[in-house]
Amino acid sequence: MNKINFLKPDNQNLSIYLYSGSFLFFIAVLDVFLGSFFGMNITSFLPNFISFLLPLILGIIGLHLIRIEFSGIRNLDLLNKHINTNIFNAALTLLIIFTVIKSIPPIMSWFIIDANITGDTKEACTGSGACWTYIKIWLNRFIYGMYPNELQWRINISFILLIGLAFVGLIPSEKIKKFLTLYYVVIYPIIAFILIYYLISGGSLGLEWVETGAWGGLSLTFIVSFFCLIFCFPVGMFLALGRRSQLPTVRYISVGFIEFWRGVPLITVLFMSSVMFPMFLPEDFFMDKLVRVIIAISLFEAAYVAEVIRGGLQALPRGQYDAAKSLGMGYWKMHIFVILPQALKLVIPGIANTFLALVKDTPLIFVVGLLEIVGMLNLAKTNPEWLGFAMEGYVFAAIIFWIICYAMSKYSYNLELKYKTER
Amino acid sequence: MNFKIKKILPQIVTLLAVVFVFGFFTFNAQVNMDNRGIEFGYGFLSQESSFDVQFSLIEYDGSHSYARAYLVGLLNTLLVAFIGIIFATVIGVIVGIARLSPNYLIERTAAFYVEFFRNIPLLLQIFFWYFAALRALPLPQDAEAIFGVFFLTIKGLFVPRFVWENLDIFFYSLIAAIISIVVIRNYARKLQESEGKQLPVFSISVGLLIILPLLTFLIGGVSLSFEMPVLEQIATTSFKYTGGLGLPPELIALTLALALYTATFIAECVRAGIQGISKGQKEAAASIGLTPNQILKLVIMPQALRIIIPPTTNQYLNLTKNSSLAAAIAYPDLVLVFAGTALMQTGRAIEIVSITMFTYLSISLSISVLMNWYNKSIAIKEK
């Protein structure tokens, strides 16, 4: 029998260290678990302060005992390498585990166990948890805004058509593939505009006119982000080319334009579009609020897109330009066939980030009185029959936005991998 | 000849287009203003503003001018930006380093934090803190003291106010400490270059920073006391805190949301910066016998900072610009006070919106100029 030194666990008495360490660790986790899920305190006989800190101390000792280098047990080595390298790391590990265990019951009870979803009125919410009834009742408004209920099929059809048409790119035929870029850059936006103008807005073809002030909710978020996304990209591309141009006038104007939009907050741009821009238009000329907002956000984001694309243009080696020129290509031919395809590939992550920022910026349109989903939440929150459910509303919107943005960022990551070319 | 036309023609066309658009807008603005009987001018700035602002760093009430209202808004914006930047940097650096931790759980927790806060619109987060989280705080009369001195209530955070005596002497001692540290550092560098001796510069600096200000307390007549916030009853059911320093809930919600949101981006900058240093640098440094601390201080950090600082400054700028979202929860920043209330009262859309935009623009541009200068000064000088 070797000497057992509890300060320095080693390979000699592996099983003793392992069993005693695991036992202490297990006791620590069990204590926290019981306290959190069943409200029991198995160490209540101890003074408050010690009882509170005991799991942490026990856990640290336990983890210390199983921190044995080259134990020969694969899982133990992995564990030691990843979460148990030294006392500091062990303490942090324990704190994270305890926090997770402690926070599960309250979160579960708020979201599910004590939550209510039945009923149609505020009185149905009797539990101490979330009142999903509120979301259920207002869901229609959160998605369609003030758009009249009986006309909402128009929004649905437009969106289904647009999503369907977006998948045209998956057609594998080689013949059509050539025109895909043209389709996505020119034809698709025109179709989208026609659909939204005639179907959602209405006013002709026997459809009732719905003013843009009544649009709102999640559908408005999509409409605004969609159009801004389509418009800001070409504008940004021209600005980037302008900034890299050899012609001084073009360059200075582009630089001035880009730096101006990048230097001001979006909210002031929206202020400008709502209070200052009408002053700049001829007297009898009326431009819809929504159109003004879309123009404002597009120009704003275009400046950011321009900077991202400029980064891609700068990253291309000079040889690419020289090679294209030596083939006798002019400025536009060179950029369309040689430079831009390579540069755009390089900047996919940056562009995706800009688009993400755009989607996250759409709630700001509340400044001009358009209410997309966050705006509708604030409206619903002040409804006298549904006071006091701010939390549910914001959590709901946060989940929706999070899903959209996270999906976009993952998609861009995949695109990046797909188009990655070795240099 | 042909070549020249090719260069000049597009420039003239662009210039004409820009001039035409500007001319068109100016003409319309002129006509519109004539019709409404408004005259363009900035004279209104000296008029009496006759509106009140809830929270202001300088003395202000309705009898002051619009120019002063502008200053109040600007200072409030800078205050939020300043506090937000400090918190965002601290959280961002910690999370960024945590993302590189060998501890799997810590790395995942940091990644979760970044992915969570980055993908939710900032405005929604501000609303959440202001309308949902802070509304759950206790009323002033029910609040319990945190550490015995802070009171976190639905009406805001109340903290003790510092009451200084002979504050100027304290400041002088701080300045003296900083100057002497600079002198000692220069001396230490020279000593090392000429004789190869190393002085413990860091411990000397810390010591100076602590001892010199401490001395002023002992012999300089500087003293510090605290004025505690006291609960006061103003009506049967209405209480408020007097004395101390009160931070309004708008400020807390805004700073919290801005800091937590921007910290995710700063964390990514920090991570990218440290990861951007090739492993060879570390190994090379280790092979010439530097200690781990020296490697971090002399090899890794100088190079990593070169990658980290430019994008981080950009994030600071974003934070400052995003602070304009304050208008949504009625924190009296530049946009709310000036582009909101003042604009409503005077109706001078063009002047006020242009001043507001110009203010943000000059903040952004001056920081970009500084940044460019800094980038040039730290760029790797290759032969």
Number of residues written out for chain A: 423
The answer to whether residues A87 and A215 belong to one domain is no
Do residues A67 and A136 both lie within one domain?
no
**Which chain A residues in 262-321 lie under 8 Å from chain B, judged by CB atoms?**
262-269, 271-272, 275-276, 278-283
Smallest CA–CA distance, residue A397 to chain B, in Å, is: 8
Residue the block writes with tokens 């029959």: A385
**Chain B nearest C-alpha distance from A365 (Å):** 11
- For residues A35 and A138, state if they share a domain: no
List the single residue in A with minimal CA-CA distance to B366. A263
B203 in A contact zone (CB under 8 Å): no
> B184 vs chain A: nearest CA distance in angstroms?
35
Same domain, A75 and A142: no
Residues of A in contact with B14 (CB under 8 A): 247, 249-250, 253
Are A58 and A136 members of one domain? no
Interface contact B120-A249, CB threshold 8 A: no
Q: What does the pLDDT read at residue B226?
A: 72
What whole-number distance in Å separates Cα of residue A54 and Cα of residue A421? 55
Residue B327 above 90 pLDDT? no
The shortest CB-CB distance from B353 to any of A271, A359, A398 is to A271
**Could you list the residue range(s) of the whole structural domain that residue A41 is in?**
14-113
> Is residue B202 over pLDDT 70?
yes
Residue A175 in any domain: the answer is no
The region, left, alpha or beta by phi > 0 then psi within -120 to 50, assigned to residue A203 is left
Residue B357, chain A, CB below 8 Å: the answer is yes
Burial degree of A281 (CB within 10 A; 0-12, 13-18, 19+): middle
Q: Are residues A241 and A99 in the same domain?
A: no
Listed residue (A214, A273, A203) closest to B339, CA to CA: A273
Domain contains A282? yes
pLDDT value of residue A422 = 55
Of A247, A363, A378, the CB nearest to B11: A247
**What single-letter amino acid sits at A253?**
I
Q: Which of A275, A287, A396, A403 to mutate to test the interface with B (most CBs of B within 10 A)?
A: A275
Q: How far apart are CA A157 and CA A160, in angstroms?
A: 5
Domain residue spans of chain B? 2-40
Decide if A401 and B119 are in contact by the 8 Å CB cutoff.
yes
Q: Do A83 and B356 touch (CB under 8 A)?
A: no
Residues of chain B with C-beta less than 8 angstroms from the C-beta of A353? none
In this prediction, residue B267 has a pLDDT band, given cuts at 50, 70 and 90, of very high
Give the pLDDT score at A6. Answer: 67
The closest of A102, A82, A83, A78 to A29, measured between CA atoms, is A102
Measured CA to CA, the distance from residue B205 to residue B214 in angstroms comes to: 14
**A87 assigned to some structural domain:** yes
Residue B90's CB is within 10 A of a number of other CB atoms, namely 13
The reply to whether A142 and A91 lie within a common domain is no
Judged by a CB distance cut-off of 8 A, whether residue A378 touches chain B is yes
Q: What is the mean pLDDT of residues B254-261?
A: 93
A396 touches chain B (CB under 8 A): no
Residue A369 placed within a domain: yes
CB pairs under 8 A between A and B: 157
**Residue B263: predicted pLDDT:** 94
A263 → closest Cβ in B18, B124, B365: B365
Domain count within chain A: 2
Mutation target vs B (from A221, A276, A406, A411; most B CBs, 10 A cutoff): A276
In this structure, the answer to whether residues A272 and A409 fall within a common structural domain is yes
Q: Same domain, yes or no, for A64 and A136? A: no
**Contact at CB, B360 and A263, closer than 8 angstroms:** yes
Give residue B1's pLDDT band: very low, low, confident or very high (50, 70, 90).
Answer: low
ipTM field: 0.86
The separation between CA B264 and the C-alpha centre of its own chain, rounded to angstroms, equals: 15
**A410: in domain:** yes
Between CA A232 and CA A283 the distance in angstroms is: 28
Q: A193-202, B69-78, B374-383 — which is least confidently predicted? A: B374-383
Question: Which tokens in the block code for residue B194?
Answer: 């000429």
A333 within some domain: yes
Q: B226 near B161, Cβ under 8 Å?
A: yes
Q: Is the Cβ of A353 closer than 8 Å to some Cβ of chain B?
A: no
Say if residue A104 is in the same domain as residue A140: no
Rounded average pLDDT per 10-residue block, chain A, 423 residues: 66 78 85 81 74 83 81 79 81 89 86 77 75 80 79 79 77 68 76 78 70 80 88 88 86 89 89 83 79 90 91 85 87 84 82 88 86 84 79 88 90 80 55
Average pLDDT, chain B: 83
Q: Is residue A166 part of a domain?
A: no
CA distance B74 to B368: 19
Identify the closest residue of chain A to B110 by CA–CA distance. A96
In one letter, which amino acid is B323? S
Residue A390 lies in a domain: yes
H or E stretch at B232:
strand B230-233
Q: Tens of pLDDT along B87-101?
A: 999 999 999 988 888
User: Residue written as tokens 């701010």?
Assistant: A390
Nearest-angstrom CA–CA distance, B12 and B5 = 10
Which among A246, A374, A391 is the nearest to B121, CB-wise?
A374
Q: Do B103 and A83 touch (CB under 8 A)?
A: yes
Cβ distance B121 to A361 less than 8 Å, yes or no, reads: yes
Under a CB-based contact definition with an 8 Å cutoff, are residues A145 and A216 in contact? yes
CA triple A370-A386-A148, angle to 5 deg: 45
